[in-house]
Amino acid sequence: MLLHIPGLFSPEEVRRIRQALEETEWADGKITAGHQSAKAKHNLQLPEGHPLAVEIGAAMLERLWQNPLFMSAALPHKVFPPLVNCYTGGGSFDFHIDNAVRQAKGSTERVRTDLSSTLFFSDPDDYDGGELVIQDTFGTRQVKLPAGDLLLYPASSLHKVNAVTRGARYASFFWTQSLVRDDGRRTLLFEMDTAIQQLSRDVPDHPSLLQLTGTYHNLLRQWVEV
């Protein structure tokens, strides 16, 4: 499941974040790449623990934990601290699959990467290229979202970032360990939850709502891992 979550940051907030990112110093993006991924990764990145990355990440997670769409779709259990990267001057990241397990620098906690997320800080008109290309069961999709919007997608998917040939593409990315490991089951629960919420708005007194809500929670109870 690919899910577009709009408006996590306002245009004014994005402008301030972009200004801070343009004024900071960057490191080679290979610092967080595995052995195989490092061969394909050509970008810039803020080091783990960088004060600006920590500040941006904290603001992102605070909003996501209050975002009904993210909570319903991701069913988050653990989140790897968000990182920030920049693609410019031909920078790219060829096809790869994200590492199955991540461990933040200085932490003993491991996060299983069920879901990947990319939050865009550059508008599509700010740069050429830089599409996030994702291969899934429905084919190949290319994504460039407005600044402040987030894309949620399975970390198991083959994906890449096309070369940026003009301008700069700023983004934050992170991984989520879901309460429900299987993407197919997670998608079914999300679709059921969405339907229940719509029914609650359209026919709030319908007697089937109680049964549907109970079925949702019984399925979640069967599939959840804590």
Residues 14 and 105 in one domain: yes
pLDDT class for 24, splitting at 50, 70, 90? Answer: very high
169 appears as a binding residue in the annotation: yes
Determine if residue 141 is labeled as part of a ligand binding site: no
User: Which pTM was predicted?
Assistant: 0.92
pLDDT > 70 in the chain, percent: 96
**What residue has token string 């804590």?**
226
Instruction: Please tell me whether residues 156 and 211 are part of one structural domain.
Output: no
Report the b/e string of 68-95 with b at 16+ CB within 10 A: ebbebbbbbbbbbbbbbbbbbeebbbee
Q: Any binding-site annotation on 50?
A: no
CATH of the domain at 100: 2.60.120.620
Q: What is the model's pLDDT at position 33?
A: 59
123 is in an annotated binding site: no
Q: Do residue 93 and residue 205 come from a single domain?
A: no
- Three-state DSSP at 75 gives coil
Contact in structure between 176 and 31 (CB atoms under 8 Å): no
> By three-state DSSP, how is residue 42 classified?
strand
One domain for residues 192 and 128: no
* Residue 174 shares a structural domain with residue 201: no
Question: Do 57 and 12 share a domain, yes or no?
Answer: yes
Whether residues 217 and 148 fall in one domain:
no
Structural domain for 167, as ranges: 3-178
User: How many separate domains does the chain show?
Assistant: 2
105-121: average pLDDT: 96
114-165: pLDDT as tens digits: 999 999 999 999 999 999 999 987 789 999 999 999 999 999 999 999 999 9
Model pLDDT, residue 43: 93
Least confident of 31-45, 126-140, 206-220: 31-45
Question: CATH no. for residue 201?
Answer: 4.10.860
The pLDDT assigned to 11 comes to 97
- What does pLDDT average to over the chain? 94
